[in-house]
Structure 1
Amino acid sequence: MTHPTSSIRLHGFPISGHCHRVQLMLSLLGLPFDSVTVDLPAGAHKQPAFLARNVFGQVPVLEDGGLTLADSNAILVYLALTYDASRRWLPASPAVQAEVQRWLSVAAGPLAYGPAAARVAVLFGRPDNPAARTAAVQLFTTMEQHLEGRDWLATDHPTLADVAIYSYTAHAPEGAVSLAPYPRLRGWLARVQALPGFVGMVASPVPPALA
């Protein structure tokens, strides 16, 4: 979904879950944007032109008019506060905001070092990472328990928490982490996928053991 006349540009990489969560948020909000692919295999994210946008040399980067913003979770917060007048995605309640922040921390911690890291090892042919798969199982087991009697992660409706956690959870099988043992988790993924405006991330091959 790209719109050349949009003031919003998303610099990213198609199989990055960090980038997908921003793309998903833009789509859920109905915001047109221009998609710019950063050639990560060629090291474009470490070149001066890109480092001028993000000194850490990471995708995604969002440009909105004169604003340049990096870090996927920070971008989610910005989009919700700027473009969601209803405050559905980041509610005004301090208690709910804190709960959303808790899941943004999970996205930056256990999700990144668990299923996301396991997936990177498989997709890019890096050394086997059993610790990442173990961390993924621990996270998904906790989420399975958390989802008992609830449909969404932070409150009684979808929020940034669900957007931030979705991509790497849904694509965990690409890192040899099965979702079969987690029926509640799979139900939550289906609810996210049923949201108006949902867009999926490009699928990568699932290892033969899980295919």
Structure 2
Amino acid sequence: MPVARPAQPIRLYRSPFSGHAHRVELFLSLLDLPFEMIDVDLRAGEQKKPGFLAKNPFGQVPVIEDGAVTLADSNAILVYLASKYGDDGWLPRDPLGAAGVQRFLSLAAGEIFRGPASARMAALFGVPLDREAARATALQLFAVLEPHLAGRDYLTGAHPTIADVAAYSYIAHAPEGGIALDAYPQIRSWLRRMEALPGFVAMRASQPLAA
């Protein structure tokens, strides 16, 4: 349960197809915080209109509004929510624990984005990305994560942190980018543990574009 409660529901500007936005939706739900979702029509370019650019000049989802606070960037939002509303389990305060979480937040912005996330964007939305390079990055990532998760319930140890929240969405939906998870039993077990957490919410499944 959260250690604090917002004075009013947090607003989450998102796309239901965005793994970055799903990270935030998932964490809000895991924390059992009141929130409302406002869909941003990315295909219509709503994220590039002045009203939204005032919230995030980069024109990207997600964005949250928590009272007077407006904040963009999914990983930054996770840190904010964990620090304000979570307990130390979600974002450890000790130096080594905090560094372990940061390692995977960097991975979420790096290899996870360049690998399974990019492969999914190319397959689902026709984004002009190098699908073979994305696939190679994803396979390299999974080759590292598979043995890492052996003997661990979660990415940094026995308890879930925002590292797991940041990593979950695009790894769980890697098959939508043509990257199967059959060969990775440790990763699949970790995904199931995440999906069993109280308050878990799934991201909408999508079908790749026809080749």
Deviations for 1:79-129, whole angstroms, at most 9, x for unmatched residues?
001001x31100121110100000000000000010000000010124561
CA RMSD of aligned residues (A): 1.6
Specify the alignment match of 1:103 in structure 2: 104
For normalisation by structure 2, the TM-score amounts to 0.93
Secondary structure of the 2:65 match is: strand
Q: Percent identity?
A: 60
Q: Indicate yes or no: 2:172 matched with 1:186.
A: no
Unaligned runs of 5+ in 1: none
The amino acid of 1:165's aligned partner reads A
Specify the alignment match of 1:197 in structure 2: 199
Secondary structure of the 1:179 match is: coil
CA distance in 1, matches of 2:181, 2:39: 30
Specify the alignment match of 1:60 in structure 2: 62
Contact 1:176 1:207 in 2 (8 A): no
Q: Residues 206 and 182 (structure 1 numbering): CA distance in 2 closer, same or farther, change over 3 Å? A: farther
Deviations for 1:166-203, whole angstroms, at most 9, x for unmatched residues?
00000000000010110000000000000011000001
CA distance in 2, matches of 1:104, 1:28: 18
The amino acid of 2:111's aligned partner reads P
Secondary structure of the 2:163 match is: helix
CA distance in 2, matches of 1:74, 1:126: 25
The amino acid of 1:171's aligned partner reads H
Specify the alignment match of 1:157 in structure 2: 159
Q: Indicate yes or no: 2:18 matched with 1:16.
A: yes
Offset of residue 208 of structure 1: 8.7
Q: Trace 1:143-154 onto structure 2 (pairs within 5 A).
A: 143-154=145-156
Contact 2:177 2:208 in 1 (8 A): yes
The amino acid of 1:190's aligned partner reads R
Secondary structure of the 1:157 match is: coil
Secondary structure of the 1:15 match is: coil
Contact 2:40 2:46 in 1 (8 A): yes
Q: Residues 206 and 45 (structure 1 numbering): CA distance in 2 closer, same or farther, change over 3 Å? A: closer
For normalisation by structure 1, the TM-score amounts to 0.93
Offset of residue 207 of structure 1: 7.5
Secondary structure of the 2:102 match is: helix
- The equivalent position to 2:44 in structure 1, one of 38, 42, 45, is 42
Contact 1:29 1:83 in 2 (8 A): yes
Unaligned runs of 5+ in 2: 1-6
Offset of residue 151 of structure 1: 1.1
CA distance in 2, matches of 1:103, 1:126: 25
Q: How many matched pairs?
A: 204
Contact 2:125 2:209 in 1 (8 A): no
Secondary structure of the 2:140 match is: helix
Offset of residue 138 of structure 1: 0.5
Contact 2:126 2:209 in 1 (8 A): no
Deviations for 1:120-151, whole angstroms, at most 9, x for unmatched residues?
00101245611001101110111001111111
Offset of residue 206 of structure 1: 5.5
Specify the alignment match of 2:175 in structure 1: 173
